[in-house]
Amino acid sequence: MIKKHLQKLAPKQLAAYIQFTQISPYLTRPGLVNHIELCRQYQFNAAMIAPCWVPLAKEMLKNTGIKTTTFIDFGMGNTNIGGKIALIKELRKIGAEEVDYAPNMGYFLSGMYEEFFIESKELVGAAEMIPIKAMLQLGMIKEEKEKKHAIRLLEKAGVDWIKNSSGGWPPGSTNATVADIRLIKETITGKSRVKASGGIKNYKTAIALIEAGAELLGTSYGREIIRGIEPNNLNYLNPAY
């Protein structure tokens, strides 16, 4: 059992784990600016925003130490490999510092393990020095041995970070659980690292996931977690702040 005894993390220490997420299709420029200002205020690890906002976020976060992170193929994962490679290269070109991507779960669930592996290996190559994070949908995989197989394939492909889920969409996505995070942590050899995503809304949940092995937390509730207050109904698909 993994234990780090982090119940007394100071706000600044906890903020270093949080990739503050706002990826709503309704997001406007003022909303994005506000999101980046909150990242600066709380000194989060990164701003996780949609690809179209990368240049603005990058400029606003210059010299802050806060990373500009983004994603491709959110949730679905079924863009063909050439399209994914092109997207990663473009994001690298415009200044993204990390990219979360959805692996093709249809391949894995079909038993097309080689195709699943090759896709991620090619994306690692396209990213070059930019870390990429696989949004593995553990909720779509029924057997634990198959979950471990998927994790091992991603690590073998050279993926920098493995996530338990895309977080909130599509239907196969699941909230981060201690069991899933511990499973990833205990399956990898140390070449990959663990990011938790989905349903991380309060301090208690954040700490439990870190203790289970998560080194990053993807959440739109960063302020609530840091301040130790219960969240309202806002999330990354509802940019009301």
Q: Does residue 217 register a pLDDT over 80? A: yes
| Residue 63 scores a pLDDT above 60 | yes
Average pLDDT over residues 86-112: 97
- 239 has pLDDT over 50: no
pLDDT of residue 39: 98
Q: What is d(CA 175, CA 193) in angstroms, rounded to the nearest whole number?
A: 18
| 195 a catalytic residue | yes
CATH superfamily of 13-227: Aldolase class I (3.20.20.70)
The structure tokens 């130790």 sit at 228
Domain positions in the chain are 13-227
**Residue 3 bears catalytic tag:** no
The string of pLDDT tens digits covering residues 20-37 is 999 999 999 999 999 999
Given the residues 58, 84, 147, 163, select the one marked as catalytic.
Answer: 163
Q: Are 200 and 218 in contact (CB under 8 A)?
A: yes
Q: Residue 175: pLDDT above 50?
A: yes
pLDDT in tens, 177-211: 999 999 999 999 999 999 999 999 999 999 999 99
Candidate list 58, 73, 84, 100, residue with the active-site label: 100
67 assigned to active site: no
